[in-house]
A and B are shown apart, each in its own frame.
Chain A
Amino acid sequence: MKNYLGESNNRGFAGISSILYVDTKLFIAIITITILGLITIYSSSGNELSLVIKQSTRVVIGLIAMVFLAQVHPDNLRLFAPVLYFLTILLLILVLLFGVGHSADRWLDLYFIRFQPSELMKIFVPLMLASYYSDKPLPPNISYIFIAIILVLLPVFLIMKQPDLGTALLIGMSGAIAILLAGMSLKFFFVTTFSTAALLPVLWMNMHQYQKQRVLTFFNPESDPLGSGYHLMQSKIALGSGGFFGKGLFNGTQSKLGFVPEHSTDFIFTAFGEEFGFLGVIILMSLYLFIALRGISISIKATDNFGRILTGTLSLTIFLYVLVNVGMVIGFLPVVGAPLPFMSYGGTSMVTLFATFGMIMSVKSHQRILRK
C-alpha cells in the first residue's frame, strides 16, 4: 500500500499494528521484558502488589506515549526537537534550584507530578542531534561537530551537578554515538576521546566523595566488603547462587531478605538472575539483543539522515543502558545508578523508554520507499 507520495507503511500483517504504526516484533519483545520486570518486582519486594500496580500504571502511561509518538510523523519530531531539548534544559536548571530527592537532587516536584528531567534528556539529546544533523551535509565538518558536542555537554554538565554521574555519562555516550553515526571521522573521534581522557583528573577532582569511593571500590571490591563493595559482592552472590536454572520464582533469598540492595530498581537484574538462573538471563539478554539489532536494521533502512541517526542512536543507547546496568551488577563496571530498561522500578525511566520506541516505530512506519 502506497500513498500518493510514495509513502508506505511497510506492514507485515494487517490489524491494530497497521493502524497504530506499531512494530509488532519490537512491541512483543518490549512487553515480554516488561512483564518479566513486573514479576521480578513482585517477587523481590516480598510479594507486594502495590509496587506492581504502581509500575503497571506507568507501563500503561508509557504504552500510550509510545503509541502516540508512533503516530507522529518523523518530520514533526524533527521540527519539535529543539523546543523539547531546550525546555528540558530549563527543567534541569530548575532541578538544580528546586530539586528534591534523598541523597542527590534529581527530582522535580511539579506538585501534580514528580519526575526526573535527566531521564527525559536520555531521549532528547539523540533527538536533538538527529534533528541538528538532518539538514547538514554528512559527514559533518568540524564546526558542526563542535556545536553537537556543546549540545551534548550542556545537559551532561547540568546532570553531573545534581549530582548524577551515571545518567550524565550515559547521556554523554549517547551523544557520542549520535555524532559517530552521523559520520564523524574515527580519527577525529579518537583524538577527542583521548583529550577527554586527559581531562579525567579534572573530573575526578570535581567528583563527590561517594562517587570517588564507588570508582575506587570498583577496582577492588573485596577491599571493603561491608562498605561500597557490599553491593557488588551481594549481587554476585545472588546471581551465582541462582545457578543455571535459578532458585525458582519467589525463592530468591538474597534479594528477598535484603542482602541485595535496590533489588527492584538498579539491581533488578540480580533479583531476576537469582530466581530465573542463567537460562532466564540468556532469554532476557537475547531479548535486549533482538531489540538492539532490530533498531539498527530499522536505522539502516531509514530513508533520511534524521531517521537514521535517531533510530540508530536510540537503539544503541538502550543497549548501552543494558550493558551498563548488567555490567554493574556482574562487576564489569563501577556501581553507578543506572536502571535496567523496561525492568527497573521507576516512573520517568519507564515512560521515557516506551516513548523512545514510539519514535523508533514512527521512523520505521512512516518511511518513504527508497528511490532506486
Chain B
Amino acid sequence: MKTKARKDSIRYRRKIEEKYSWDRLSDIDEERRSHKKRSIIAAILVIFIFATYLVKLYEVQVSSHEYYTVKSDSNRIKIRPVQATRGIIYDRNGLIVAKNINTFDLIVKKERIKNKGIFYKNLKRLLPTTPTDIKNIQSQFKNRRLKDITILEDITLEEYSKISVDQYILPEIELVNKSRRKYIEPLATSHVVGYLGKVSDYDIESSVFKIHVGMTDIGKLGIERFYQNILSGRPGFEKLETDAQGEVIRVLEKREPHRGKDIYLTLDLKLQKYIYSQVKGKEGAVVVMNPKNGDILAFVSFPGYNTNLFTKSISNKKYNELIQSPGRPLINRVIAGQYPPGSTIKPFMGLIALEQSIIDPEKLMYCNGSYILGKHKRPFRCWKKEGHGKVNLSFSITQSCDVFFYKLSELTGIDLISENLYKFGFGNKTYIDLYDEKPGLIPDRAWKLKTKQLPWYPGETLNIGIGQGYFLATPIQLTLGTSVLAGNGKTYLPHLLLGSKNKTSGEFLNYKNSENKFEADIDQDYLDIIQHAMWRVVNEKGVGTASHLGKIRNIEVAGKTGTSQVYNLDKGKTGTKKLQDHALFISYAPFDNPEIVVTVVVENGGSGSGTAAPIAKSIINYYFKNKKQVALK
C-alpha cells in the first residue's frame, strides 16, 4: 500500500510538472540567465549608489566639518550679557543725585516668537494694549540689537501675579528683574544730569562712546552722556548651552561685569533744589559758580521735566506733550539758551573802553534821554525818558544809563568791541563738561557781510553797546564773564565734575582745577572802577538799579541788572510775534573776596531789577545761610 501511494504521489507530481514544463519548457534556463543578468546589474547599481552616498557623506562630515562645527556651536551656545551696575552720581556733599533701583519688567525673548501675527493676537488677549503699545513693540522687533521685547515696564510682583493667571495664553512671557536708573530730583536736575536711554544707531556711530557688546543703555543727555564711559562700566557675559527651545541647560563660562565708577558733581543738590523752587512757573536759567575754581554749584534750567519718565521707554504721547509744552522744558537754557545780554554787558563795554583808552574814567557825558546818531532820524532812547543828566562811567553802570553807552560804543567802534569781548568768554563755547553747548554770537563786520550780505551800520554798534541787536550770550557765558570780573581777570573753566570714585578699588580721582585756569590780561585799576560800579548797583541806595535788594546777611554783593528786548515768537501763547523783555542779573559775592557768581535769566520776565535780581538775592541769602550752618557743625 505504501509503495502504491508513493507511486501515485510521484505520478501526480510529474503530471503537474509536465503541465508546467510544457509552458516554460524552453524558458527555464533563459529565465535564470535573464534574472542573473538583471541581478548583477542591480548589484552594480547598488555599489555605485553606495559609493555616491559615501562621497556625499565624506563631503558633509569630513570636508565641511569645521563649517558645521561652528554652526553646531552657535546653535547650542548662546551668549547672554550681564549688565554692569552703573556708577552712582553724587553731589558735592555726597547726596545721591542718580542711583539704580530694582524693578520688574515683563519681556518676551524674540527667538521664542515663531509667528508674529499669533503673538500680537495673544498679546491683545492677555493685556489691554493700545495701538501705540503695539507700535512700540513693533519698533522693538525691528531693533536688531534688542534680543528681548519689553512689554510692560516697572511692574510690581502683584501686578505680575494677576497677569500670570492667564499666562497660558502667551507662555513666552517672562518676568525679569531689571536695574533701572532713578533720579532723586528729576525736575531740578533734569538738564544737568540728563537721563539714560536705549543705545541707538546714532550712539554707535559716534566714536566718543565705548559701546561694549551687550550694552543696552547709554546716557542720552547731560552728565549721564558726557561721563558715559566712566559711569557705564563694562557688561559681563554668560556663555550658556541651550536646547532647541532656548531653555538653558548649563552655564559654560561666565565673566563678571565691571561696575561703573561713581561720580561726584560740583553741584550742591540742596541749593539746586532751592533755586528750582524759587523759579516755579518761570522760564529761564540760573547758574551759581565758584569763581575761585570753576565749580558749578547750581545749574538750573527751568522749567525742568521728569527725567524718570525717560528711563522707561517714554510713550510718544508724553514725549510730544513735552515737546509742545509752551515752556519748552527740553531746552537746556543754561548752555543752549542764547539771549541778548542787555545792560549786563555794560561793565564789559566800559572795561573795554577804558583799556583801549577811549574814555577817561571821570569823563562826563550828558544824557537827555535820547541820543541822535548822524543822519538817523529816530533817536536812540535811554530807558529813563527824562535823562540822567551829567554822568560818568561808574554812574552810568550804576544807573544803567543807555545814552552814555551809545556814545561810548560809537567811540569804541564795532571792531574793538567784538575783538575784546572774546577775552571774557563771549562768542565761544565755555567747554563746560556737557554736550550741545551753544557758542552765543559776537557780531562783527565780517560776520554780517557773510550772513546778511550787508555792510555794518554804525547804528548797530550802538545797539551792541547796550547788549542788544545781534549780540547773543548764554547764561553760562555770562557767568564766566562775571567770574572774570570777580576774580580780577583770573578764572577757571566752569565744570560739573568734582571727581570719580572706583567703588571696587576705592580709588578717588579729583578733577584738576589748575589745568583749567585761565587769565585775562586786564588792568587792575580799570577793573577796580568797574567792580566798584557793580558794587554801587546793589549797594548805593536809591541810585543802583538793584539797590532795593539791600544788604544780604552783612555780605556785600556786586551785580548788574539787564533787561533785554527781543522781538520773538510768543511761545505759542497767541502765535504772534511781539516784544518780550528778558530779565537778567549777573552778580558775585562777597564783594571783596568772591565765593560765588550768580547769574539769573528769566525769559519774558519783566525787568532785570524787578524779577531777576530778587531771585539772585534769595539764592545768595540761601547759600550763605547754609554755608554758615555747615561751618557751625
CB distance from A158 to the nearest CB of B (A): 28
Interface size on B, residues (CB 8 A): 43
Asked whether B38 lies within 8 Å of A282 as measured between CB atoms, the reply is no
Question: Which chain A residues lie closer than 8 Å to B133 at the CB level?
Answer: none
Asked whether A237 lies within 8 Å of B50 as measured between CB atoms, the reply is no
Asked whether A289 lies within 8 Å of B34 as measured between CB atoms, the reply is no
Asked whether A282 lies within 8 Å of B54 as measured between CB atoms, the reply is yes
Given the interface contacts A237-B71, A285-B54, A296-B43, does A278 sit within 8 Å of B76 by beta carbon?
no
Question: Which chain B residues lie closer than 8 Å to A332 at the CB level?
Answer: 53, 56
Asked whether A241 lies within 8 Å of B31 as measured between CB atoms, the reply is no
CB distance from B317 to the nearest CB of A (A): 36
Question: Which chain A residues lie closer than 8 Å to B24 at the CB level?
Answer: 137-138
Q: Which of B27, B60, B241 lies in contact with A138, CB distance below 8 A?
A: B27
Smallest Cβ-Cβ distance to A5: which chain B residue: B13
Question: Which chain B residues lie closer than 8 Å to A238 at the CB level?
Answer: 68, 72
Asked whether A237 lies within 8 Å of B62 as measured between CB atoms, the reply is no
Asked if A240 CB lies within 8 Å of chain B CBs, one says yes
A70–B34 alpha-carbon span in the complex (Å): 27
Asked whether B46 lies within 8 Å of A257 as measured between CB atoms, the reply is no
Asked whether B75 lies within 8 Å of A242 as measured between CB atoms, the reply is no
Question: Which chain B residues lie closer than 8 Å to A65 at the CB level?
Answer: none
Question: Which chain A residues lie closer than 8 Å to B177 at the CB level?
Answer: none
A316–B35 alpha-carbon span in the complex (Å): 14
Asked if A254 CB lies within 8 Å of chain B CBs, one says yes
User: Which of B242-250, B308-316, B360-368, B377-385 sits within the interface?
Assistant: B242-250
Which among B20, B39, B54, B245 has the highest number of chain A CB atoms within 10 Å?
B39
User: Which of A49-57, A88-96, A322-330 sits within the interface?
Assistant: A322-330
CB distance from B588 to the nearest CB of A (A): 69
**In the complex, per-residue mask of A231-275: 1 if CB is within 8 Å of any chain B CB, else 0:** 000101111111110000000011001110000000000000100
**In the complex, per-residue mask of B272-289: 1 if CB is within 8 Å of any chain A CB, else 0:** 000000000000000000
CB distance from B501 to the nearest CB of A (A): 45
Smallest Cβ-Cβ distance to A299: which chain B residue: B39
Asked whether A323 lies within 8 Å of B53 as measured between CB atoms, the reply is yes
Q: Which of A241, A254, A259, A323 lies in contact with B49, CB distance below 8 A?
A: A323
Asked whether A180 lies within 8 Å of B244 as measured between CB atoms, the reply is no
Asked whether A138 lies within 8 Å of B31 as measured between CB atoms, the reply is yes
Given the interface contacts A257-B242, A259-B75, A281-B57, does A243 sit within 8 Å of B65 by beta carbon?
yes
A320–B68 alpha-carbon span in the complex (Å): 28
A177–B249 alpha-carbon span in the complex (Å): 48
Q: Which of A99-118 contact B (CB under 8 A)?
A: none
Interface size on A, residues (CB 8 A): 46
Q: Which of A237, A285, A299 lies in contact with B72, CB distance below 8 A?
A: A237
Asked whether B43 lies within 8 Å of A243 as measured between CB atoms, the reply is no
Question: Which chain A residues lie closer than 8 Å to B43 at the CB level?
Answer: 292-293, 296
CB distance from A31 to the nearest CB of B (A): 21
Q: Which of B31, B36, B47, B73 lies in contact with A300, CB distance below 8 A?
A: B36
Question: Which chain A residues lie closer than 8 Å to B249 at the CB level?
Answer: 257
Asked whether B35 lies within 8 Å of A258 as measured between CB atoms, the reply is no
Asked whether A278 lies within 8 Å of B62 as measured between CB atoms, the reply is yes
Q: Which of B54, B69, B241, B242 lies in contact with A241, CB distance below 8 A?
A: B69
CB distance from A372 to the nearest CB of B (A): 9
CB distance from B246 to the nearest CB of A (A): 10
Asked whether B69 lies within 8 Å of A243 as measured between CB atoms, the reply is yes
Given the interface contacts A135-B20, A237-B68, A238-B72, does A327 sit within 8 Å of B46 by beta carbon?
no
A259–B61 alpha-carbon span in the complex (Å): 17
Question: Which chain B residues lie closer than 8 Å to A237 at the CB level?
Answer: 68, 71-72, 75
Q: Which of A243, A273, A292, A305 lies in contact with B46, CB distance below 8 A?
A: A292
Asked if B64 CB lies within 8 Å of chain A CBs, one says yes
CB distance from B196 to the nearest CB of A (A): 34
A53–B195 alpha-carbon span in the complex (Å): 63
Q: Which of A180, A241, A278 lies in contact with B71, CB distance below 8 A?
A: A241
Asked if B23 CB lies within 8 Å of chain A CBs, one says yes
**In the complex, per-residue mask of B19-38: 1 if CB is within 8 Å of any chain A CB, else 0:** 01001100100011011101
Smallest Cβ-Cβ distance to B20: which chain A residue: A135
A181–B71 alpha-carbon span in the complex (Å): 45
Asked if B42 CB lies within 8 Å of chain A CBs, one says yes
CB distance from A94 to the nearest CB of B (A): 35
Asked whether A257 lies within 8 Å of B76 as measured between CB atoms, the reply is yes
Asked if A155 CB lies within 8 Å of chain B CBs, one says no
Asked if B508 CB lies within 8 Å of chain A CBs, one says no
Q: Which of A155-208 contact B (CB under 8 A)?
A: 177, 180-181, 183
Asked whether B58 lies within 8 Å of A240 as measured between CB atoms, the reply is no
Asked whether A273 lies within 8 Å of B72 as measured between CB atoms, the reply is no
Asked if B67 CB lies within 8 Å of chain A CBs, one says yes
CB distance from A73 to the nearest CB of B (A): 15
CB distance from A67 to the nearest CB of B (A): 26
CB distance from B57 to the nearest CB of A (A): 5
Which among A137, A293, A326, A332 has the highest number of chain B CB atoms within 10 Å?
A137
Given the interface contacts A181-B39, A254-B75, A299-B35, does A240 sit within 8 Å of B27 by beta carbon?
no
Smallest Cβ-Cβ distance to A292: which chain B residue: B46
Asked if A308 CB lies within 8 Å of chain B CBs, one says yes
A253–B72 alpha-carbon span in the complex (Å): 8
Question: Which chain B residues lie closer than 8 Å to A180 at the CB level?
Answer: 38
A282–B56 alpha-carbon span in the complex (Å): 12
Asked if A319 CB lies within 8 Å of chain B CBs, one says yes
Question: Which chain B residues lie closer than 8 Å to A299 at the CB level?
Answer: 35, 39
Asked whether A285 lies within 8 Å of B50 as measured between CB atoms, the reply is yes
Which among B54, B67, B69, B75 has the highest number of chain A CB atoms within 10 Å?
B75
Asked whether A257 lies within 8 Å of B244 as measured between CB atoms, the reply is yes
CB distance from A337 to the nearest CB of B (A): 20
Q: Which of B47, B54, B61 lies in contact with A273, CB distance below 8 A?
A: B61
A296–B40 alpha-carbon span in the complex (Å): 8
Asked whether B60 lies within 8 Å of A239 as measured between CB atoms, the reply is yes
Question: Which chain B residues lie closer than 8 Å to A323 at the CB level?
Answer: 49, 53
A312–B23 alpha-carbon span in the complex (Å): 24
Asked if A277 CB lies within 8 Å of chain B CBs, one says yes
Asked whether A240 lies within 8 Å of B244 as measured between CB atoms, the reply is no
A253–B23 alpha-carbon span in the complex (Å): 63
A285–B68 alpha-carbon span in the complex (Å): 22
Q: Which of A139, A259, A289, A316 lies in contact with B76, CB distance below 8 A?
A: A259
Question: Which chain B residues lie closer than 8 Å to A137 at the CB level?
Answer: 23-24, 27
Asked whether B35 lies within 8 Å of A241 as measured between CB atoms, the reply is no
Question: Which chain B residues lie closer than 8 Å to A327 at the CB level?
Answer: 53
Given the interface contacts A137-B24, A292-B46, does A241 sit within 8 Å of B65 by beta carbon?
yes
A181–B42 alpha-carbon span in the complex (Å): 9
Question: Which chain A residues lie closer than 8 Å to B65 at the CB level?
Answer: 240-244
Asked whether B61 lies within 8 Å of A257 as measured between CB atoms, the reply is no
A273–B38 alpha-carbon span in the complex (Å): 33
Question: Which chain B residues lie closer than 8 Å to A239 at the CB level?
Answer: 57, 60-61, 68
Asked whether B39 lies within 8 Å of A312 as measured between CB atoms, the reply is yes
Asked whether B60 lies within 8 Å of A330 as measured between CB atoms, the reply is yes
Asked whether A293 lies within 8 Å of B61 as measured between CB atoms, the reply is no
Asked whether A300 lies within 8 Å of B35 as measured between CB atoms, the reply is yes
Q: Which of B110-132 contact A (CB under 8 A)?
A: 114
* Chain A residues within CB distance 8 Å of chain B: 135, 137-139, 177, 180-181, 183, 226, 234, 236-244, 253-254, 257-259, 273, 277-278, 281-282, 285, 289, 292-293, 296, 299-300, 305, 308, 312, 316, 319, 323, 326-327, 330, 332
Q: List 26 interface pairs A-B (beta carbons < 8 Å), by A numbering.
A: A137-B27, A138-B27, A180-B38, A183-B38, A238-B72, A240-B60, A240-B64, A240-B67, A241-B68, A243-B65, A243-B69, A244-B62, A257-B75, A257-B244, A258-B243, A259-B244, A278-B62, A281-B61, A285-B53, A289-B47, A293-B46, A300-B35, A300-B36, A319-B46, A327-B53, A330-B56
* Chain B residues within CB distance 8 Å of chain A: 20, 23-24, 27, 31-32, 34-36, 38-40, 42-43, 46-47, 49-50, 53-54, 56-58, 60-62, 64-65, 67-69, 71-73, 75-76, 114, 241-245, 249
Closest 3 CB pairs of A and B: A240-B68, A241-B72, A258-B244
A237-B75, A254-B75, A300-B40 given. 4 additional CB < 8 A pairs? A241-B68, A285-B53, A296-B42, A319-B46
